Structure 1
Amino acid sequence: MSVDVRQRARVPAWLLALAFTTFAFATDDYVIAGVLPAISADLGVSEAAGGQLVTVFSLAFALGAPVASVVTATWPRRGLITGALTLFVASNWAAAFAGSYAVLMGLRVLAALAAAAVVPAAYAIATSMAPEGRQGRYLALVMGGLTGSLMLGVPIGTWVGGAFGWPATFGVGGLLGLAALIATRLTLPEPPPGEAMPMGRRLAPLARPRVLVGLLGIVAIVLGSMMLMTYLAPFLRDLAGAGPAELGWIFAMAGLAGLVGGQLGGRAADRWGADRALMAGIAGFTAVMAAFTACWFLRPMALLSLLPLLMVWAAVSWWIPPPAQTRLLAMAGSAAPQALALNSSAVYVGVSGGGALGGLVLDAHGSGWLPAAAAVAELTALALFWTAGRLRA
């Protein structure tokens, strides 16, 4: 193997640091699901209200990311990431001492805005500094921090919260942010500043009806998945008596299943076509939600007997996004780069919507209705993509 080939195959340290940074942000968002009952009980709010901590983080990210990517496009990257990660660390450590729900909610907004400033910059750095022909791989590695958070970050945060209380979970979130700050400062070179894209040009795909409807389909897909994910702790507690210790290893195994499902969904989109792969994923998701609903009438269930269903649920949940995004980009045509940027915001709108609507279902009907509501959301997504495909470009 030549020296040039070895250098191309080696993953640069700065790229790993960016992947760890997205891992820290995603862990901080999703880990609420593992400690939700404890936070709600300690702060004297309902579990549905506690779930809005996920909603507000995701909504602040969704609204802040496109604005931050425009406003900070010409800022020095290292300075931007350093400042935002400092804010992220401070807001997490302050959350560990939050004595009220309102204060904790405000601190979640600050953490989300910090993430919104960094994540678009991380994606831009990965693509601009990648060697020729490796942009996709570099971007995939940075985005892999999202799946990795479910496999490792959320289980660790859940276990810590179960053993030492939910404030310790935010302490761990701050430590992850501090580690990301140190890693990026030590390894990340200063890439050339980007060129600011006017907000009107960045939002141009929204003027295309089929792209707009496709983005709404992305929102519905994520919303359906997160309705159950956000409230998985009360659902499994009510269905099988699961506690924080059990939730930790369930999140770890679900993260692994999701990683496999995402890879299979991407390959299915390439081999079968995006439409067929999307239909297969949503059909599988709906079947699993029907099975969970049936289990509700047989409760209490043994947690081990639910494990196969939980793994299939995680796999099909992550199977769906690759063909959905492939379909969206095909519909966007020449506006594909801008549509891809808006896709990140659509994902977090879905996350926030899942927390909000799931909370309403939980409050009004109990956790047993969450799977049925999630299935309706996924079927709505399928209808939206079907509609988008029949609209004019």
Structure 2
Amino acid sequence: MSFPTTDCADADVSAAADSAQPLNAWLAVFAVAISAIVFCTTEFLPIGLLRYISAGMNVSEGTAGLLVTAPGLLAALAAPLLAIGVGRIDRRYVLLSLAALLVVANLLSMLASSFAVLLIGRVLFGIGLGGFWAVGAGIGSRLVQEGSVARATSIIFAGVSIGMLLGGSAGALIGEMFGVTGAFALALGLSVLSFVAQALWLPKLPVERAMPARDLLGIVLTGNGRVGLLVMFLALCGQFAAYTYVTPFLAQQAHFDAASISAILFAYTLVGLGGNFIVGGLQRFSVKTLLAATIGLLFGALGMLAWWATSPAWVLLLMAVWGLAYGALPLVLQIWMAKAAPDAQEGGMALFVANFQISIALGSLGGGLLVDGLGVSQALGYCVVAGIAALLVLAVSTRKT
């Protein structure tokens, strides 16, 4: 995993490389970025739709959260297994197959007349999601010249933030206007667009060497790698135990209407983009300091939101702080992992994706149990325990980062 630097000379080299880059190379990058947007939109769509799925299919909100849990678990399994299983198959055909699976999953979700069928569609989606990030996350280095790799990778990863914008905020709004079927119809249309873009613009991407299974252990074999994986797991479990159920919280506890909730979720993710850029300007601080500050800010805001949501203005302020901190968290975690195991890039990315997705899955599952058992407001409060645990693990880590 590599990250852009802020060095001026590097920026000049990158700019020169970009100007010399063939148009077809950038079209290929944008095709993968479109796929990233659609995968992330589809992943987060149920968060905005949670209330409508619960009411329309006669299941509890905790049970509806399985639509986030199930694909997360499947993605966690699929990422390492597909990274190894695709062997030396041309990556163009792998990505096209995953894009086709996304079309099928969204079609099934759109046509679902029961919660069980909708859940099957989400399971198929989870397989495609894990495979896409295991193969597609680092594909930028195969599409452009060396000096443009950082920019190409940042364009692809921008799809995560854009997908969160569309999936969470637009999901809430479309669910209010057109229902669950309309929301998944939108996802289906976008997934067809993604497939067509890749079919038109992706070049052949042959590989010379299949990834051996031992490459997955590169991060695990380092002390900082193990610490990072555990901190990541705890922090993201707490994050998604809360975020999966933020829509019912904003409706039931803060009494916002559907249009306001959509705007709040849009702003949450937009502010998160700012958090991502802020991290880039704080490279002088140690990664450990940045990680501790980010986790502390995130769960501090979450705790105050759960226990002291006394006014709409206060809720909006805390949602902004929460969004800013979460926007920074994935990037700080990636930097930590890259420093922990610089020689285990492809296998490291697969394990990173697997850990990320299983954290989403178990977090949303745990959050659902808390919501059904305690109510949405108290459930958000208990999510802070995961953040405290992550900070304690980080505090006892004395290795240089």
Cα deviation for residue 137 of structure 1 reads 2.1
* CA contact 2:232–2:356 (8 Å) conserved in 1: yes
Cα deviation for residue 238 of structure 1 reads 1.6
Given candidates 293, 313, 321, the residue that maps to 1:280 is 293
* Secondary structure of the corresponding residue to residue 104 of structure 2: helix
Is 1:295–2:286 an aligned residue pair? Answer: no
Q: Could you tell me which residue of structure 1 aligns to residue 128 of structure 2?
A: 114
Q: How many pairs were matched up?
A: 387
Is 1:60–2:71 an aligned residue pair? Answer: no
* Secondary structure of the corresponding residue to residue 206 of structure 1: coil
Match runs of 1:241-320 below 5 Å? 241-268=255-282, 270-296=283-309, 298=310, 301-302=311-312, 304-320=313-329
Match runs of 1:1-393 below 5 Å? 6-8=19-21, 12-268=26-282, 270-296=283-309, 298=310, 301-302=311-312, 304-332=313-341, 334-335=343-344, 338-390=347-399
Deviations 1:93-137 (A, max 9, x none): 221221222221111010111222223222242122221222222
- Structural RMSD (CA): 2.4
User: Equivalents in 2 of 1:65, 1:4: separation in Å?
Assistant: 31
Relative distance call for 1:41 and 1:134 in structure 2 (3 A) is same
User: Equivalents in 2 of 1:389, 1:329: separation in Å?
Assistant: 18
Relative distance call for 1:45 and 1:5 in structure 2 (3 A) is closer
Relative distance call for 1:217 and 1:3 in structure 2 (3 A) is closer
User: Equivalents in 2 of 1:337, 1:193: separation in Å?
Assistant: 13
Q: Provide the TM-score with structure 2 as the length reference.
A: 0.89
Relative distance call for 1:251 and 1:9 in structure 2 (3 A) is farther
Deviations 1:164-193 (A, max 9, x none): 111111111111110100111111111222
User: Equivalents in 2 of 1:355, 1:26: separation in Å?
Assistant: 16
Relative distance call for 1:5 and 1:175 in structure 2 (3 A) is closer
Aligned partner letter, 2:79: A
Relative distance call for 1:311 and 1:3 in structure 2 (3 A) is closer
Q: Could you tell me which residue of structure 1 aligns to residue 9 of structure 2?
A: none
User: Equivalents in 1 of 2:344, 2:98: separation in Å?
Assistant: 30
Runs of 5+ in structure 2 lacking a partner? 1-11
Aligned partner letter, 1:232: V
Relative distance call for 1:195 and 1:244 in structure 2 (3 A) is farther
Relative distance call for 1:344 and 1:295 in structure 2 (3 A) is same
* CA contact 2:51–2:61 (8 Å) conserved in 1: yes
Aligned partner letter, 2:305: F
Seq. identity, %: 26
* CA contact 1:266–1:323 (8 Å) conserved in 2: no
Relative distance call for 1:5 and 1:221 in structure 2 (3 A) is closer
User: Equivalents in 2 of 1:264, 1:4: separation in Å?
Assistant: 25
Cα deviation for residue 341 of structure 1 reads 3.2
Relative distance call for 1:265 and 1:3 in structure 2 (3 A) is closer
User: Equivalents in 1 of 2:30, 2:258: separation in Å?
Assistant: 30
* CA contact 2:251–2:261 (8 Å) conserved in 1: no
User: Equivalents in 2 of 1:3, 1:153: separation in Å?
Assistant: 36
Aligned partner letter, 1:328: M
Relative distance call for 1:9 and 1:331 in structure 2 (3 A) is same
* Secondary structure of the corresponding residue to residue 133 of structure 2: helix
Runs of 5+ in structure 1 lacking a partner? none
* Secondary structure of the corresponding residue to residue 134 of structure 1: helix
Aligned partner letter, 2:20: Q
Aligned partner letter, 2:317: P
Cα deviation for residue 62 of structure 1 reads 1.0
User: Equivalents in 2 of 1:227, 1:3: separation in Å?
Assistant: 44
* Secondary structure of the corresponding residue to residue 61 of structure 1: helix
Relative distance call for 1:207 and 1:7 in structure 2 (3 A) is closer
* Secondary structure of the corresponding residue to residue 146 of structure 2: coil
User: Equivalents in 2 of 1:31, 1:336: separation in Å?
Assistant: 30
Aligned partner letter, 1:370: A
Q: Provide the TM-score with structure 1 as the length reference.
A: 0.91
